[in-house]
Amino acid sequence: MGLSSIAYDLGSGLNGPMSISHLSSPRQQLAFSAKSCSRACITVRAADGNSGSMRAPPSTVRASKLVTNAVAVKSETASIAATKSGHELLLFEALREGLEEEMERDPRVCVLGEDVGHYGGSYKVTKGLAEKFGDLRVLDTPIAENSFTGMAVGAAMTGLRPIVEGMNMGFLLLAYNQISNNCGMLHYTSGGQFTIPVVIRGPGGVGRQLGAEHSQRLESYFQSVPGLQMVACSTPYNAKGLMKAAIRSENPVILCEHVLLYNLKERIPDEEYVCCLERAELVRPGKDVTILTYSRMRHHVLQAAKSLINKGYDPEIIDIISLKPFDLHTIGNSIKKTHKVLIVEECMRTGGIGASLRASIMDNFWDYLDAPIMCLSSQDVPTPYAGTLEEATVVQPPQIVKAIKQLCG
Amino acid sequence: MAPSISTFRRAICTRVNASRFLASPSPFRNFSSSTEDSTPFTVDIAVPFKGHKIEPPPQVVETSAKELMTFFKDMSRMRRMEIASDQLYKSKLIRGFCHLYDGQEAVCIGMEAALTREDNIITAYRDHCTYLGRGGTLPEVFSELMGRKDGCTLGKGGSMHFYKKENGFYGGHGIVGAQIPLGVGLAFAQKYEKMKAATFLLYGDGAANQGQLFEALNMAALWDLPAVYVCENNHYGMGTAEWRAAKCPEYYKRGDYVPGLKVDGMDALAVKQAVRFAKEHALSKGPIMLEMDTYRYHGHSMSDPGSTYRTRDEISGVRQERDPIERIRKLILFKEIATVSDLKNIEKEVKKEVEDAVAKAKESSPPDASELFSNVYVKGYGSQVFGCDRKHSTATLS
């Protein structure tokens, strides 16, 4: 046939490893491989001369319509062929992809933080970017959170679009003054003269026995700073989309990631897409009860949902995504349908996201509620080191099941 | 001409060559034309510069009659403005915090003489005069101080939040020391965009003990950012004298590995010389620290009488011996660029300007109620987004 070998890897492709030997010509074989998976690694050694285009350029495989996939809700408008494409990756890789695409698109986008450059990022989110974009665009800073966050805000005042990486969200407490007073408020106090298009991102939340100081949930501290926007990503799909949206936003955005979600694997579209910073995600439609959650707790809720569905309940699960401002439109529509709400969050009981969300719902949807809003949060304690104790500080799936039983009867 | 020249004048113009000597203004020249004269001549700087890990610039600076007259008028305007603000505060038209700059005018005037609008200036809360120096107008200042909508930040910022982005004035910050990392960020952006301009970060002797200053200085030095640290040392951090707050009150040496220069901050020409020198250094070699030895006549703010921690004799002593406007006045009179009555007229003019501006600002109305909610976020994100709830929809965020 002329082609000596084709090696390709479609990962755990939807139909299992593919065989293309039934296709007649080498060109057909090649075209098929390229269309199926643009991330397939294809090495072709052609013996004959008529194989002109060895590799179809990626742009030709991008569909012109936005393709939605990789979530529980299957839309009937999505075509079968479209759901086969896409590439699988881990959450931290999705963040990197989003970051890299935005840095290519706009030369003003730069990253700064500790060990983001040569080291590649402590969670590998910026791996390879310093080699590609240079040291000034992927800047290794000394350990001075207050100052380099301030520096990013100052650079943003002139028009650059920096992304500040906190190695752990908890370290950004040192930069609280800069985030609250300068980042959040300068647009207002300057009468609109300055925009601060900064993205502040980093992993937070309770990990695996990291200790109290490295298991903080800063979303509760930042939520009342005026002028800031806050989102929390929970899957590779929304991680990439929210990263891109946050970078493109003219407002300062805090992107809350979670230490334990970086290795989550998912298939995401090849086409470029941007998520909406203010829209909540309907993970599973239902009619019995509305479960509002975000970040890691989404996955605990989904785990609990499996046993709830077996027991006959029909929960509607919404990942709120936008922590500031809340997407009351999506949440409200759900409450109007189900009349019962359970909030599952990782923040502490006092002053957390759940507390504010509860107040918001009561203010706006009181008449639609058939039962008091239940809120499951972490305990108001510093996170202990011992594994058993640490498990007890955060909400676990059995507690969620129990709460739903209590709420729905 | 030659017989009337005194030895004193000869001493002042030591570097002037013979032809310039002959061209010096005589008592019989027409004064109005000499005030516009841009012919440069040199002036000795009285107080010597002190360098830290750097050779100080020469003790002579070039200036002109026109420049001196501009200095005089601008500084008088600033002085008048601050006195008027004092009166407005006492009549409760200005509320909250009001930090006055009178006594320190030479620093911002000297800086403006050596810089362009491409360079950035960022300062703390004692920013009224710095704003004026960067192209702000008196009505904008007074409107903002009184919380009216014609203020430079629409009445929503107040005394501590004056900004003028198009002229490179980045404020205007209330938290002590927080403007320093911002300033390093401005310098970073200048380096990123490959601009041939520098950023001047102003802070006080009180802020000189902030950790973030040193953190940011380390970064600026590490990456050779065009940042110039300017410590406006008025010797008191609110009510605490410098020797009670700092183990090492020689602020120009605090940069350690970063060179420093101590400047007489009450001498506008010395400031001009030092700032020009510093800008050159910043653009070629990296950060440098300037310490401006200056003094404020008012207390820290309007709520501070300013006399509990220093004696009235000290204040009046400085006013008599080192006042920046008096110094320029003496130089102008000595060089016979203008007469005493000319200068008095200028002061009257400036007083009227300020009074008119105050009257105009008083007529301005407070901001509209809807302004409470404007500029919290930026409207018009300018990007297409796709719903992340899996609907195939596009929208332009507004």
Q: What are the tens digits of pLDDT across the range B103-118? A: 999 999 999 999 999 9
Q: Which residue of A has its CA nearest to B149?
A: A191
Q: Give the span between the Cα atoms of B104 and B89, in whole angstroms.
A: 20
Q: Which residues of A touch B161 (CB under 8 A)?
A: 189-190
- As separate numbers, helices (DSSP H) first and strands (DSSP E) second, chain A gives 14, 16
Question: How far is A26 from chain B, CA to nearest CA, in Å?
Answer: 37
The verdict on a CB contact (< 8 Å) between B377 and A280 is no
- In chain B, % helix, strand, coil (3-state, to 5) comes to 45, 15, 45
pLDDT surpasses 80 at B56: yes
* Contact (Cβ atoms closer than 8 angstroms) between residue A163 and residue A199: yes
Cross-strand partners of B169: B121, B164
- Kindly report the CA angle at A384 between A383 and A385, in degrees rounded to 5? 125
- Three-class DSSP category at B227: strand
The predicted pLDDT at position A14 comes to 37
pLDDT band at B376 (very low <50, low <70, confident <90, very high): confident
The verdict on a CB contact (< 8 Å) between B156 and A189 is yes
Weakest mean pLDDT among A81-85, A317-321, B6-10: B6-10
The predicted pLDDT at position A235 comes to 97
Residue A27, classified by CB atoms within 10 Å of its CB into exposed (0-12), middle (13-18) or buried (19+), is: middle
pLDDT surpasses 70 at B380: no
Weakest mean pLDDT among A112-126, B8-22, B26-40, B325-339: B8-22
Cross-strand partners of B262: B50, B291
Nearest alpha-carbon partner for A342 in A280, A284, A386, A288: A288
What average pLDDT score do residues B59-78 get?
Answer: 95
The predicted pLDDT at position B88 comes to 96
What average pLDDT score do residues A224-232 get?
Answer: 93
The predicted pLDDT at position B13 comes to 41
The predicted pLDDT at position B377 comes to 84
pLDDT surpasses 60 at A338: yes
What tokens does B117 get? 């609008």
Mean pLDDT of chain B: 88
Closest to A226 (Cβ–Cβ): which among B218, B374, B376?
Answer: B376
What tokens does A52 get? 């002109």
* Contact (Cβ atoms closer than 8 angstroms) between residue B274 and residue B245: no
HSE-CB at A267 with a 13 A cutoff on CA atoms is 20
What average pLDDT score do residues A381-389 get?
Answer: 92
The predicted pLDDT at position B369 comes to 84
The predicted pLDDT at position B375 comes to 84
What tokens does A127 get? 């791996």
Q: Give the span between the Cα atoms of A22 and A40, in whole angstroms.
A: 19
The predicted pLDDT at position A83 comes to 52
The predicted pLDDT at position B130 comes to 96
Higher pLDDT, B356 or B31: B356
Out of A57-61, A76-80, B68-72, the most confident range is B68-72
Question: From the candidates B118, B120, B201, B212, which should be mutated to test the interface with A, based on the most A CB atoms within 10 A?
Answer: B212
Q: What is the DSSP letter of B30?
A: -
Closest to A273 (Cβ–Cβ): which among B154, B216, B386?
Answer: B386
Sequence-distant (≥ 6) Cβ neighbours of residue B311 within 8 angstroms = none
Residue B308, classified by CB atoms within 10 Å of its CB into exposed (0-12), middle (13-18) or buried (19+), is: exposed
pLDDT band at B1 (very low <50, low <70, confident <90, very high): very low
Q: Which residues of A touch B383 (CB under 8 A)?
A: 245, 248-249, 274
Residue A35, classified by CB atoms within 10 Å of its CB into exposed (0-12), middle (13-18) or buried (19+), is: middle
- Is the sign of the CA dihedral B210, B215, B217, B220 positive or negative? negative
Mean pLDDT of chain A: 83
Q: Which residues of B touch A156 (CB under 8 A)?
A: 185
A299 is catalytic: no
Cross-strand partners of B227: B199
Q: Please pick, among A187, A214, A258, A300, the residue that the annotation labels catalytic.
A: A214
A87 is catalytic: no
DSSP characters over B258-295: S-EEEEETT-HHHHHHHHHHHHHHHHHT--EEEEEE--
The verdict on a CB contact (< 8 Å) between B165 and A330 is no
What tokens does B94 get? 């200005």
pLDDT surpasses 60 at B382: no
Q: Which residue of B has its CA nearest to A226?
A: B376
What tokens does B58 get? 């020469």
What average pLDDT score do residues A306-331 get?
Answer: 94
What is the per-residue pLDDT across B207-256, written as a single tens digit (0 to 9) for each? 999 999 999 999 999 999 999 999 999 999 988 999 999 999 999 999 99
Weakest mean pLDDT among A199-203, A308-312, B5-9, B260-264: B5-9
Q: Which residue of A has its CA nearest to B216?
A: A147
The predicted pLDDT at position A84 comes to 61
The predicted pLDDT at position A68 comes to 37
The predicted pLDDT at position B193 comes to 94
What is the per-residue pLDDT across A229-261, written as a single tens digit (0 to 9) for each? 999 999 999 999 999 999 999 999 999 999 999
pLDDT band at A50 (very low <50, low <70, confident <90, very high): very low
Q: What is the DSSP letter of A227?
A: T
pLDDT band at A221 (very low <50, low <70, confident <90, very high): very high
The predicted pLDDT at position A25 comes to 53
Share of chain B above pLDDT 70, in %: 87
Share of chain B above pLDDT 90, in %: 80
What tokens does A12 get? 């755990």
What average pLDDT score do residues A145-162 get?
Answer: 96
Higher pLDDT, B6 or A207: A207
What is the per-residue pLDDT across B152-184, written as a single tens digit (0 to 9) for each? 999 999 999 999 999 999 989 999 999 999 999
* Contact (Cβ atoms closer than 8 angstroms) between residue B293 and residue B233: yes
Side chain identity at residue B278, one-letter code: A
What average pLDDT score do residues B179-192 get?
Answer: 96
Omega cis (within 30) before A398? no
| Interface ipTM | 0.79
Closest to A276 (Cβ–Cβ): which among B185, B377, B388?
Answer: B388
What average pLDDT score do residues B269-293 get?
Answer: 96
* Contact (Cβ atoms closer than 8 angstroms) between residue B84 and residue B139: no
